[in-house]
Amino acid sequence: MDPRELLNRAGLPPEGRAEPLAGGDMGRVWRLGPYVVKTDPNPPRGLFPAEARGLDALAAAGVRVPRVHWVGEEGIVLEYLPPGADDWAALARMIAGLHTRPATGYGTDRPVFLGRFELPVERSTDWREFWTRGRLQPLLDASRERLGELAGPLERFVRGFAWPAEGPVLVHGDLWSGNVLMAAEGPALIDPSAWHGERAVDLAMMRLFGGFPEAFWAAYEAVRPVPPEVREALPAYQLYFLLVHVHFFGSGYLAGVRRVLRHYGFL
CB-CB contact of 169 with 100 (8 Å) = yes
Residue 44 burial by Cβ neighbours in a 10 Å radius (0-12, 13-18, 19+): middle
- DSSP result, 201-247: HHHHHHHHS----HHHHHHHHHHSPPPHHHHHHHHHHTHHHHHHHHH
> For this structure, is 174 an active site residue?
yes
Distance, CA of 36 to CA of 19 (rounded, Å): 9
Q: Which of 56, 141, 174, 202 is catalytic?
A: 174
| CA gap 95, 176 in Å, rounded | 12
Helix/strand/coil percentages in the chain, nearest 5: 45, 20, 35
| Residues designated catalytic | 174
